[in-house]
Homo-oligomer: A and B are copies of this chain.
Amino acid sequence: MTDPDANFTTAEYEGRIARTRAAMEQRGLDAIFVTDPSNMAWLSGYDGWSFYVHQGVILRQEGEPVWWGRAMDALGAERTVFMTQDGSIRGYDDTFVQNPDKHPMQELTRLLGELGLEKAQIGVELDNYYYTAAAHHSLTKGLARATFHDATGLVNWQRAIKSDGEITYMRRAARIVEGMHARILECAEPGMRKNDLIAEIYAAGIKGADGHWGDYPAIVPMAPSGMDATAPHLTWDDKPMRKGEATFFEIAGAHRRYQCPQSRTLFLGDVPQKYRDAEAAVLDAMDAALEKAKPGNQAQDIANAFNTTLNKAGFEKDSRCGYAIGISYPPDWGERTISFRRGDTTVLQPGMTFHFMPALWLDDGGLEITEPILINDTGHECLCTTPREMWVKA
């Protein structure tokens, strides 16, 4: 098992790289250029808030991965990546940064040529946030004899089954999100400005739990109340919390970039019967769904069990009810691979981790009671012990 107090071992990175190379070989790829910050971190250890400039990791069938980015960030790469050989960290000149007259991909073109890839089969993450249409245009034009293939998700899929070391980090993140929810219950009350509550949530999350520090979540805490909670992704302002309103808290604990999201809902004052009915329906449907969360079942089995039970109670949910989680950077804490929805036939395996996310948006508010789960040898484990219920403060 990976030393729980250090970063991952070189052996762990080598294992990840071997899995990735096998997937590349299956698709006939000589190399991939990976821009998703979570894939960069998973393959190389690189960790820095530099994904607002063009950067990436190049992985060939031989040799160390090559980190490529802005020259000033090469110093951050030296302090975070596992690679040790000369030439495994390459920085480009600052004049390429946000300069309409030239594009950093011109520099990458030169580097890929130097690495012998001018006529190679190269995979790129065509649908990743950090691989723009302009980047692809510049790169394909510059390396006109190479052939480019869509490798969106190729590395993400290799990340699905977590190592023991990764699970250790996720358990720490689970302790942290438990602590964040406990802090909410402790201090939320009518009249409290929402931003003051968010400040408490952030502080609890970053202080960490059980002696383990909190990293930044890949999505900011979301905590809309009342009608604002009919929409899922609004962030906070200073409106005070009020009696008679439900507030959902969609938040994540994070440790060394591993994310453990969990949502709960707090009702202030007397709970209308409609919310009690919704809570009962969701909890029943969650039980039915989690029975399907075991190795050998498919991802859609969880969604189908959830929806069937929920519909019987008279409620409906159109959107997916879960997704894979692990290491992540903004803007998303999901792995963007497996979804709990009809048609996703991915077979569940031990070591996979998910956010089971059966949120309900009602006509006058939202109800989110969710569980981060780990598929184990016989079924699943809920990573958190947060009481599974709608919280009420009178």
Contacts and interface: CB of A to CB of B under 8 A. Distances in A.
A108 to B, nearest CB: 14
Given A94-B318, A330-B331, 17 more contacts: A48-B231, A72-B231, A72-B232, A76-B233, A79-B228, A79-B231, A100-B153, A127-B134, A129-B129, A133-B136, A133-B137, A198-B206, A199-B205, A200-B203, A208-B238, A213-B237, A216-B220
B320 A49 contact: no
Q: Which of A71, A80, A222, A231 has the most CB of B within 10 A?
A: A231
A103 to B, nearest CB: 8
A130 to B, nearest CB: 6
A285 B196 CA distance: 39
A227 interface: yes
16 contacts: A52-B334, A75-B232, A76-B233, A79-B231, A79-B234, A94-B319, A103-B127, A129-B130, A132-B132, A196-B206, A198-B206, A199-B204, A199-B205, A199-B207, A203-B203, A213-B237
Contact of A235 (B216, B230, B232): B216
A131 B132 CA distance: 6
Q: Which bracket fits the contact residues of A?
A: 35 or more
A166 interface: no
A215 B198 CA distance: 10
Contacts of A137: 126, 133
A131 B193 CA distance: 35
Nearest to A336: B98
Nearest to A53: B332
Contact of A124 (B133, B196, B222): B133
Interface in A76-116: 76, 78-80, 94-95, 97-100, 103
Given A76-B233, A233-B73, A196 B207 contact: yes
